[in-house]
Amino acid sequence: MNTQNIFVYGLLQSNYDNEAAKMLRQHATLIGPASIHGSVFDLGDYPAAFFEKNMKGIVSGELYYIHGDSKQLLKFLDEFEGIGPDEEHPLEYHRGFVLAQCEGGEKPALCYLYNRAITHILNGDGLKHVLEELLPGQIPGEFLTMRECLMDGPVSDGTNEDLSLFFEHRTLFLQDLDPGLGVDEYEKLSRSEFQKMRQIQKKSVICLWFERDVFCQVNLWFVAWVIKQYVKQAHVYLVEPGLKSPYAFNGLTATDLYDVFKHRIRLNPEQLSTFAMLWEHYVAGNRVGLKQGALDLSESFPFIPEAVQAHLDREAKGSSLGRPMDTLRKIISELDSEQGSKSISKNFGPIFQKFCRREAIYGYGDLQVLRMVEQLQKDL
């Protein structure tokens, strides 16, 4: 496709005075404001756009018309954007073609677009199904799925450079809960996804889709630790559901989901390190470290202290069995008074529903709650 048009965004726009923007204005005429369909990522000092004509997302910028022979200008802009044989591969940008929307209608144009991988790490298959159903083709990149519940069970080897022993212990724990779970199945469903996370290209874009409850947060801390250890100079973003549905992405509409993706929060290197340290403190049982990490993150992520405190409240002290167990004990007592029955099979549905309403902060699934209920029944 031959075109003299070039669509620019970020540092090449007319309100910037760098050498590349000046060079563009010397060799091209500004047609006016324009936009393309796609997504734009804040990489810190500059943005990076992804173009897809069928996406509803909009990248705003400007459209220029290049005078005469474009080779000299494009050679200069290529160097500015880091495109060349001596640059580190994969290149951060490539020069491609887009369809720009402007006052004169749709026009084909050149554009410097993001060229590295975009990876989304989702906490569970449920969110993947929701995104595929409600936003098909609207979220660019590859989906990886976190299929674990690290708030439950052994994590003592979770900060070793080689995580083999950690995953072996997790497999044994889960097999004890579900004897039908084979090693190969855990390898395929869970461990293989972690291996893919470790192999993400450096300097890639990574979006972490995690809710505010303890279940999601502990998993998030582990993923942050993996990224910090294995993926160098990554551009990391947190996508979280916000106040409308803080503990469940599936409580959002398609519009809401795209909105939280659009308003994803970029984690600077210090914040990523603090999230990773939360995992180390969690593994070590370091209450002071967890509280300090939560405090350090609280200005940008005010929901972290609540999740950390809820986790710490799980510990049994004196007559308390820990906050979740105490809540369950109270619910069971209430239902016993109402129904005159202590049958788990009869009451578990209402127990689980009441617990989820009262303690949504934990994000427990039915299996975790059932185990706690059974333990309480044994102690009665």
Q: Identify the pLDDT of residue 86.
A: 87
56: closest CA among 252, 207, 254? 254
Helix axes 366-379, 323-339, angle to 10 degrees: 70
- The closest of 166, 186, 200, 126 to 279, measured between CA atoms, is 166
- pLDDT at position 84, please? 87
Per-residue pLDDT, 99: 97
Tokens coding 20: 């590349």
Q: What is the DSSP letter of 63?
A: E
Please state, in angstroms and rounded to a whole number, the distance separating the CA atoms of residues 114 and 35. Answer: 16
Q: Enter the pTM of the model.
A: 0.93
Q: Are 32 and 102 in contact (CB under 8 A)?
A: yes
Quick one: pLDDT at residue 338?
Answer: 77
Looking at residue 16, what is its pLDDT? Answer: 96
Per-residue confidence (pLDDT) for residue 324, from 0 to 100: 97
Peptide bond before residue 90 is cis, with ω within 30 degrees of 0: yes
Pair of tokens at residue 343: 């049958």
pLDDT in tens, 190-208: 999 999 999 999 999 999 9
Q: How far is CA 82 from the centre of its chain?
A: 27
- Low-confidence spans in the chain with pLDDT less than 70: 1, 340-346, 380
Other Cβ atoms closer than 10 A to 359: 21
Structure tokens at 215: 């279940």
If one counts every other C-beta atom within 10 angstroms of the C-beta of residue 52, the result is 15
C-alpha distance from residue 116 to each of 10, 72, 92, 322 (Å): 18, 26, 6, 46
For the record, the structure tokens of 70 come out as: 């474009």
Q: Are strands 118-122 and 142-145 parallel, antiparallel or unpaired?
A: parallel
Q: How far apart are the first and last CA of the chain?
A: 76
DSSP 3-state of 15: coil
With tokens 């309403």, the residue in question is 357
- Residue 1 is predicted with a pLDDT of 65
Residues 121 and 197 sit within 8 Å (Cβ to Cβ): yes
The pLDDT, as a whole number, for residue 331 is 93
**pLDDT score for 88:** 87
Query: In angstroms, rounded to a whole number, what is the distance separating the alpha carbons of residues 159 and 279?
Result: 8
